[in-house]
């Protein structure tokens, strides 16, 4: 007698890709605006990016209902923090909060694949990448979502520093300028759109730097 | 289907200006154990036709042996080397013969056809051909290869630039796949010569 399995799943995957790149004094966070279910498109105009704190932006792909719930929880916790500490949460602090929030639901997870981007307390760009249950790491760049397997190798190729084990020692990666990083993001989304059916329509690009937050859109293929 | 992930592989072919390049990784594994770091996935059929076989290694070896046999017979009867398009149809037919007990192989075929026009194609394990004008990919690293090739490919590259592009695409892609890697094997074929090169990459 084999075990009976559920014929209904509480989860769905709404697709999409997210990317974040950290620079010396800026951070670029981007996500496409397509929301799909199965082989259907629900909307071409859905933002996966959430502005959690003054210098902290989150992009999430996966199950958007869980993403929305997660954004609400983090937003409420941030408001409480502001009342108690009379200041905005820093990006590394929000990163830890997100990790704890995700692990809180370890046995019924948020089906949400997140990248957090922002500026740390020194004004340098930082990117944190997560799995669905809160394991996180600070990195220079990351991608999540349906197009991430297509995007990550190209980001490695363009951004990764040479191995510290090499002899003679090679200089660490030359950091990209803000415009170069935005161009790189546009290139990767155009490429991912070609080969991933869940990525397309538009890409929303958010740039965080010392002068504040700036949002830009770029059209992608709609097929 | 996890049988395709048993040995691990990465194969890619790209079209350039009057030339083509075909490249593969060098790892042969049995799930998580690496058995060989110099496994040949790409084989020559004739001077202007190469086939790279990804997927289950035993099936790719058997399929290759059968294809060489069929091509030698063709050469004896027709007194000609097979055109790449013809060869692709042969591979497709042989795979579909085994429709309900297939060879677990995804071939990548690359050759110079009439007037030395480059030809590439891939097919699934039961012979569904996919002709492409730019690049084709196969193996456990195929999604990574799609992303890397889509971003790096330009049409009408000369042989040297094509070599650089395909090498970078292969190495970046296999570095994100645990089951493929341990260097690369690249063949760049022009109407006059064939350059075979070994790439040094991350040995993990």
Instruction: Give a yes or no: residue A68 inside a domain.
Output: yes
Q: If you write DSSP's letter for every residue of A144-173 in order, what string do you get?
A: EETTHHHHHHHHHHHHPPPPTT-SSPPPPP
Long-range contacts (CB closer than 8 Å, 24 or more residues apart) made by B71-77: B71/B45, B71/B46, B75/B46
Pairwise pLDDT comparison (B161 vs A165), residue with the higher score: B161
- Strand locations in B56-114 (E): 105-112
Contact B172 A153 (CB under 8 A): yes
Q: How far is CA B19 from CA A197, B22, B81, B136, in A?
A: 31, 10, 18, 15
For the CA atoms of A77, A79, A80, A84, the dihedral, rounded to the nearest 10 degrees, stands at 140
Instruction: Give a yes or no: residue A78 inside a domain.
Output: yes
Kindly give the parts of chain A with pLDDT less than 70: 161-166, 169-174
Q: How far apart are CA A100 and CA B104, in angstroms?
A: 43
Instruction: Give a yes or no: residue A124 inside a domain.
Output: yes
Instruction: Give a yes or no: residue A28 inside a domain.
Output: yes
Instruction: Give a yes or no: residue A8 inside a domain.
Output: no
Read off the tokens for B111: 């050759």
Strands A17-22 and B184-189: what pairing?
unpaired
Q: Is A19 on the interface with B (CB under 8 A)?
A: no
Contact B150 A151 (CB under 8 A): no
Residues with Cβ < 8 Å from B95, sequence gap 6 or more? Answer: B63, B102, B103, B105, B107, B123, B125, B126, B127
Q: How far apart are CA A48 and CA A69, in angstroms?
A: 13
Q: Is A192 on the interface with B (CB under 8 A)?
A: yes
pLDDT attached to residue A173: 43
Instruction: Give a yes or no: residue A46 inside a domain.
Output: yes
Chain B interface, best mutation among A143, A149, A153, A158, by max B CB count within 10 A: A153
Domain span at residue A48 reads 17-220
A84-107, pLDDT tens digit by residue?
A: 999 999 999 999 999 999 999 999
Q: How far apart are CA B51 and CA B41, in angstroms?
A: 8
Number of domains into which chain A is organized: 1
List, in sequence order, every residue forming a beta bridge with A138; answer none if it has no partner: A128
Q: A194 near A39, Cβ under 8 Å?
A: no
Mean pLDDT of chain B: 96
Q: Is A10 on the interface with B (CB under 8 A)?
A: no
**Spatial CA neighbour of B6 closest among B172, B176, B180:** B180
Q: If you write DSSP's letter for every residue of B116-137 in order, what string do you get?
A: G-EEEEEE-TT--EEEESSEEE
Chain B positions contacting chain A at CB under 8 Å are 143-148, 150-152, 168, 171-173, 175-176
> Quick one: pLDDT band at residue B56, thresholds 50, 70, 90?
very high
**Spatial CA neighbour of A183 closest among A19, A59, A50:** A19
Instruction: Give a yes or no: residue A10 inside a domain.
Output: no
CATH number at residue A21: 3.60.20.10
pLDDT attached to residue A161: 59
Instruction: Give a yes or no: residue A185 inside a domain.
Output: yes
Average pLDDT over residues B60-89: 97
Q: A74 near A98, Cβ under 8 Å?
A: yes
Instruction: Enumerate the residues of chain B whose CB falls inside 8 A of the CB of residue A139.
Output: none
B179-204, pLDDT tens digit by residue?
A: 999 999 999 999 999 999 999 999 98
pLDDT attached to residue A171: 44
Whole-complex ipTM:
0.87
Contact A195 B150 (CB under 8 A): yes
Contact B172 A188 (CB under 8 A): no
Read off the tokens for A3: 């075990």
pLDDT attached to residue A152: 94
Q: Is A153 on the interface with B (CB under 8 A)?
A: yes
Q: How far apart are CA B188 and CA B196, in angstroms?
A: 7
Domains of chain B plus CATH, in order, are 3-199 (3.60.20.10)
């Amino acid at each position: 007698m084999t075990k009976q399995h559920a014929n209904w799943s509480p989860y769905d995957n709404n697709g999409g890709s997210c990317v974040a790149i950290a620079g010396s004094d800026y951070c670029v966070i981007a996500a496409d605006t397509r929301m799909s279910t199965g082989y259907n498109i629900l909307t071409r105009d859905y933002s996966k990016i959430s502005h959690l704190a003054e210098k902290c932006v989150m992009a999430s792909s996966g199950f958007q209902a869980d993403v929305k719930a997660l954004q609400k929880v983090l937003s409420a916790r941030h408001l409480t923090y502001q009342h108690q500490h009379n200041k905005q949460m820093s990006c590394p602090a929000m990163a830890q909060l997100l990790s704890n929030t995700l692990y809180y639901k370890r046995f019924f997870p948020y089906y949400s694949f997140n990248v957090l981007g922002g500026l740390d307390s020194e004004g340098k760009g930082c990117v944190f990448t997560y799995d669905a249950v809160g394991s996180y790491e600070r990195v220079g760049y990351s991608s999540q979502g349906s197009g991430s397997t297509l995007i990550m190798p190209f980001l490695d190729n363009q951004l990764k520093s040479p191995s510290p084990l090499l002899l003679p020692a090679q200089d660490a990666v030359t950091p990209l300028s803000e415009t170069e990083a935005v161009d790189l993001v546009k290139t990767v989304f155009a490429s991912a759109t070609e080969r991933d059916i869940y990525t397309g329509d538009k890409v929303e690009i958010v740039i965080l730097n010392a002068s504040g937050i700036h949002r830009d859109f770029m059209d992608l293929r709609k097929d | 289907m996890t049988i395709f992930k048993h040995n691990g592989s990465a194969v890619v072919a790209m079209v350039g200006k009057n030339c083509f390049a075909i490249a593969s990784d060098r790892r042969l594994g049995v799930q998580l154990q690496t058995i060989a770091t110099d496994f040949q996935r790409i084989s020559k059929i004739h001077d202007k036709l190469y086939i790279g076989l990804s997927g289950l290694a035993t099936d790719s070896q058997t399929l290759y042996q059968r294809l060489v046999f069929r091509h030698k017979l063709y050469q004896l009867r027709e007194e000609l080397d097979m055109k790449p398009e013809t060869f692709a149809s042969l591979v497709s037919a042989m795979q579909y013969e085994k429709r309900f007990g297939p060879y677990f192989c995804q071939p990548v075929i690359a050759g110079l056809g009439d007037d030395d026009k480059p030809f590439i194609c891939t097919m699934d394990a039961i012979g569904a051909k996919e002709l492409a004008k730019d690049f084709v990919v196969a193996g456990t690293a195929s999604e990574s290869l799609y992303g890397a090739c889509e971003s790096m490919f330009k049409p009408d590259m000369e042989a040297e630039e094509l070599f650089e592009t395909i090498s970078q695409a292969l190495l970046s892609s296999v570095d994100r796949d645990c089951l493929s890697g341990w260097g690369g094997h690249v063949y760049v074929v022009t109407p006059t010569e064939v350059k075979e090169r070994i790439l040094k990459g991350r040995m993990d």
